[in-house]
């Protein structure tokens, strides 16, 4: 199953150049890297990245993240994936820009298929 991380440009650049990251400031503060499922990603973008441009949507495969991936209750009593280790470039299945168009983030075509 694919899960998704939203990074700002500089956060994505850090992962690309260093090969690993502890995540965004909120990830560092919380002690884990926040991910969303395909069904959760749109709301995550609207809630935590409203009006932010220059974002990237990063996909990772749950089967490859190991035992450090935990599913925990969060917003709306929904289970969210949290990674309790550094994220590495090897964890990335794909990355795509998440442009802001008319106040809404434009998710890649096919994201809905990943939710199933």
Q: Measured between alpha carbons, how far is 45 from 55 in angstroms, rounded to an integer?
A: 9
DSSP state of 107: P
DSSP secondary structure of 9-30:
HHHHHHHHHHSEE--SHHHHHH
What's the confidence (pLDDT) of residue 114? 60
What's the confidence (pLDDT) of residue 111? 82
Domains present along the chain, CATH in parentheses: 2-100 (3.20.170.20)
Report pTM: 0.94
DSSP state of 102: T
What's the confidence (pLDDT) of residue 113? 63
Q: What is the pLDDT along the chain (116 residues), one digit of tens a residue?
A: 999 999 999 999 999 999 999 999 999 999 999 999 999 999 999 999 999 999 999 999 999 999 999 999 987 889 999 999 999 999 999 999 999 999 999 999 888 666 54
């Amino acid at each position: 199953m694919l899960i998704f991380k939203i990074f700002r440009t500089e956060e994505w650049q850090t992962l690309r150049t260093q090969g690993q990251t502890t995540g965004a400031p909120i990830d560092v503060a919380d002690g884990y890297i926040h991910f969303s499922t395909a069904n959760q990603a749109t709301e995550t973008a609207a809630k935590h990245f409203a009006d932010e441009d220059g974002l990237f949507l990063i996909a990772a495969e749950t089967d490859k993240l190991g035992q450090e991936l935990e599913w925990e209750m969060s917003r709306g009593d929904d289970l969210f994936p949290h990674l309790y280790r550094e994220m590495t470039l090897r964890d990335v299945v794909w990355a795509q820009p998440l442009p802001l168009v008319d106040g809404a983030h434009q998710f890649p075509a096919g994201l809905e298929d990943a939710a199933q």
